[in-house]
Amino acid sequence: METLSIQIVNPKAKLLLLNLEEMNLIRIETKPALSEILAKLRRNEAEIPALEDITEEVELVRQERYDAKM
């Protein structure tokens, strides 16, 4: 099985894809947005990190990787 990521430019293409799914030729799966994933993770946490805290941590890791390359 091969997985592809497709950007639909023309709305008619979506109809074609839905028809292919009805014929069991393809399977369409949607991926949740980052905000949905974060909301799901936060439901399970006692102390919820703010988006700004997450962003700050990501930037620190990026800077460390950048410094390591130099």
Contact in structure between 21 and 27 (CB atoms under 8 Å)? yes
For 3-52, write each residue's pLDDT tens digit.
888 899 999 999 999 999 999 999 998 888 888 888 887 777 677 778 89
pLDDT of res. 57 = 93
What single-letter amino acid sits at 10? N
Per DSSP, 44 falls in state T
Domain edges within the chain: 11-69
- The pTM for the full model equals 0.46
pLDDT reported for residue 59: 94
Rg (CA), the chain: 19
